[in-house]
Amino acid sequence: MPRLRATVSSFRHQAAMFWAEPQWIIPNVIAPFVLAMVVLMIYREPSPEAVLYAVLGGGMMGMWGNTLYASGFSIQSDRWWGTVDAIFAAPSPLIWIIGGRTIWNAFVGIVNGLFVLVAAMIIFQTPLEIADFPLFILAFVLTLLSLAALGMLFSAAFVLTRSAQVLTNGLEFPIYVGTGSMFPIFLLPYWTHPLSYSLAPTWGIDAIRYAALSDYAQGFSAGYWGDLLYMMILAVFYLTVSIWLYKAVDHRARKTANLMRY
Amino acid sequence: MEDGNEVVIDVKGLVRKYHSSTGILHQKRRETVAVDNIDFQVRRGELFGLLGPNGAGKTTTIKVLTTLLLPTTGNVSILGYDVVKQSMEVRKRIGLILGGERGLYYRVTARQNLRYFADIYGVPISVRDRRIEEVLDKVNLLDKADTRVEDYSRGMKQRLHIAKGIIHDPELIFMDELTIGLDPEAARDARDMTKELVADGKTILLTTHYMYEADELCDRIGVITRGKIVALDTPKGLKSLVKDTSVIEVEGFGVTERDLESLRALDGVRTVAASMCEDKQTLRVQVGDPVSLLPKVTHLLEDRNVIGMKVKEPTLEDAYLWLVREDA
């Protein structure tokens, strides 16, 4: 249980740090919100189903933008504070510590996603009539967990680089497009599909749309439960790779001495 | 009762190299040997100092000992555990206290900092809050426990660093440049706390480049320079290395680098060290025979604004300067 305590404590600590620095709201909430709003305005067309499709996608963009941005900061902030030595020298493995932070970040992303959703509903005067509310909530929660798993994967890759922010900025739009948040994947070139299908949020947003829209016709053939299954398989895969990556990162950081540089 | 002869740090043939590269097409790889084949042991309850100039290899050594870096070659055992193969066992039992401004989460309170570090360092939840109170009391921060760290003075931050390093009640504590940048009063507080930890039975390895600190605190000192330990003894033993030496201490203004070179070139001068406090310069000229050298030194500096010159007994600093001199 000590490892789980490290995760819970990291979640709580990340929350305390978030509230202590109100400016985090700008990149974590306001920027993804504004971006999602712009996309929604571009996307808007007479069909209310299409608007609802875009509203859900906008929410997803808010969640993803936050997860990506925050995972880039998961260890970079410790470099700034000078706490990276103490974090790395702790008997709790780094992955459990980062895990707590990533879950908090995904949680903020979810809140942000809901915020975008509600705001878009008000602005576009689109009442969201959820076709199946329990399935909607289930898909939402599982998407949160899969986002956290993807955040873990990115954060592990970002631990060794001092340029995490550059990478997160570069990855933001490809993922918005690739996951189908902006428009259906089938509109994209065929060669991009493997990338889209390898991202858990792609399946998550499709499952959310299945649960929310009664006559959702553009979804994957896997259907709601198939989407969830693929998403969870990918999330477990991300976590497995993250565990391996964090072990590799631990060894490499101790060998090359580059973890503490900033 | 603990065995006072029990070896808790055992370093054998430790080498640590860094590699760096420059250029893209014609990449040049450079190897720097930060620690070059050092051996030493520290016994339980001892306060052991690693003393050396900047870049000597002190911090690299401490990072290897605290599992933050892998040794390139050599064996390091901490409390019987290998730092490479059993790093998690080592981490549970050691504390790391760093000097300097950074190393704390400034935006949250001292209590929030300690609660976080207590959790990730495995302090049982049943004793965590009591332990936080105890360490805050020990470092005299109990009344400021719920103040944000950004509102602390530099000395208070250093006391919180100490609290953070001992929150999980480690057997062995590593202190890296504990008093760097502290005012004299805060530095004295930090040294007093260090003494209390030793009195509580902790073993401490301390790195510093402040001589008086090493002299006051350490049972034994390893002098490290250019990655090698060039002497390892008690402060008294190290001072005896320069017992046949006297020191001409000169205080004044306007002494140039060229003057220092001229002093070094004088026959009978062993080392010359200069330090500066605000505008005033202090030179320590180690000589074998002060009677014959004093007039020569006076003559050489006659055009400078010398405000005082006296012959002194050698201190630990003089032993250190002798050991780490360039031509050693």
State ipTM.
0.81
Query: Which residues in chain B have Cβ-Cβ distances shorter than 8 Å to A92?
Result: 119-122
Nearest CA in chain A to B123: A2
Contact at CB, B116 and A9, closer than 8 angstroms = yes
Position A49 confidence tier, pLDDT thresholds 50, 70, 90: low
- What count of residues does chain B have? 328
The one-letter code for the residue type at B24 is I
Q: What domain range includes position A223?
A: 2-256
Which residue from B103, B113, B105, B107 is spatially nearest to B136, judged by alpha carbons?
A: B113
pLDDT value at residue B8: 94
A135 assigned to some structural domain: yes
HSE, side-chain direction, 13 A CA sphere, residue B148: 9
Nearest-CA distance A92 → chain B (Å) = 6
Identify which of B19, B69, B107 has the shortest CB distance to residue A21: B107
pTM for the model stands at 0.81
Distance of CA B57 to the CA centre of its chain: 11
A261 assigned to some structural domain: no
Q: Say if residue B288's pLDDT is above 90.
A: no
Identify which of B67, B68, B108 has the shortest CB distance to residue A17: B108
Contact at CB, A91 and B92, closer than 8 angstroms = yes
- Any residues with CB less than 8 A from the CB of B105 and at least 6 apart, and which? A13, A17, A81, A83, B112, B113, B116, B149
Contact at CB, B104 and A82, closer than 8 angstroms = yes
Query: Which residues in chain B have Cβ-Cβ distances shorter than 8 Å to A91?
Result: 88, 91-92, 120-122
Nearest-CA distance A243 → chain B (Å) = 16
Which residue from B267, B226, B221, B263 is spatially nearest to B240, judged by alpha carbons?
A: B221
Radius of gyration of chain A (CA): 18
pLDDT value at residue A262: 47
Q: Say if residue B289's pLDDT is above 70.
A: yes
Residues B109-124 have pLDDT tens digits of 999 999 999 999 999 9
- Any residues with CB less than 8 A from the CB of A171 and at least 6 apart, and which? A68, A154
- Indicate the SS3 state at residue B232: strand
- Indicate the SS3 state at residue A218: coil
Position B327 confidence tier, pLDDT thresholds 50, 70, 90: low
Residue at token pair 């921060």: B141
Best B112, B120, B171 member to test A by mutation, with max A CBs in 10 Å, is B120
Query: Which residues in chain A have Cβ-Cβ distances shorter than 8 Å to B102?
Result: 81-83
Nearest CA in chain A to B111: A13
pLDDT value at residue B113: 96
Nearest-CA distance A75 → chain B (Å) = 13
- Percent residues over pLDDT 70 in chain A: 84
Backbone angles phi, psi at B303, to 5 degrees: -85, 0
Comparing A47-51, A208-212, B5-9, B45-49, the range with the smallest average pLDDT is: A47-51
Structure tokens at A247: 């072990």
Nearest-CA distance B120 → chain A (Å) = 5
Contact at CB, A6 and B120, closer than 8 angstroms = yes
pLDDT value at residue A53: 66
- State how many domains chain A has: 1
The residue among A38 and B95 whose pLDDT is bigger is B95
Best B98, B116, B154 member to test A by mutation, with max A CBs in 10 Å, is B116
* Residue-averaged pLDDT of chain B: 88
Contact at CB, B102 and A83, closer than 8 angstroms = yes
Nearest CA in chain B to A96: B120
- What count of residues does chain A have? 262
**How many H helices and E strands in chain A?**
12, 0
B67 touches chain A (CB under 8 A): yes
Q: At what angle do helices A133-159 and A94-123 cross, to 10 degrees?
A: 130
pLDDT value at residue A253: 81
The residue among A121 and B122 whose pLDDT is bigger is B122
Q: What angle do CA B133, A104, A110 make, to 5 degrees?
A: 150
Distance CA B300, CA B318 (A): 22
Residues A122-181 have pLDDT tens digits of 877 777 677 888 998 899 888 878 888 888 888 887 776 766 667 777 777 777 777 777
Mean pLDDT of B5-20: 91
Task: Report the side by side order of strands in the sheet with B228-233.
Answer: B94-98, B172-176, B203-208, B47-51, B220-225, B228-233
A10 assigned to some structural domain: yes
Residues 182-241 of A with CB under 8 A from B: none
Mean pLDDT of A96-125: 80
A262 assigned to some structural domain: no
The one-letter code for the residue type at A217 is A
Q: Say if residue A67's pLDDT is above 70.
A: yes
A76 assigned to some structural domain: yes
pLDDT value at residue B75: 94
Comparing A94-103, A157-166, B67-76, B162-171, the range with the smallest average pLDDT is: A157-166
Q: Is B242 left (phi over 0), alpha (psi -120 to 50) or beta?
A: alpha
pLDDT value at residue B29: 82
Domains of chain B: 7-233 (3.40.50.300), 245-315 (3.30.70.260)
Task: Report the side by side order of strands in the sheet with B269-277.
Answer: B269-277, B280-287, B246-253, B305-312
A241 assigned to some structural domain: yes
Query: Which residues in chain A have Cβ-Cβ distances shorter than 8 Å to B107?
Result: 17, 20-21
Structure tokens at A11: 């979640």
pLDDT value at residue A162: 67
Residues B218-257 have pLDDT tens digits of 999 999 988 999 889 998 888 887 778 888 889 888 888 8
Contact at CB, B105 and A255, closer than 8 angstroms = no
A55 assigned to some structural domain: yes
Identify which of A5, A10, A254 has the shortest CB distance to residue B125: A5
- Percent residues over pLDDT 70 in chain B: 98
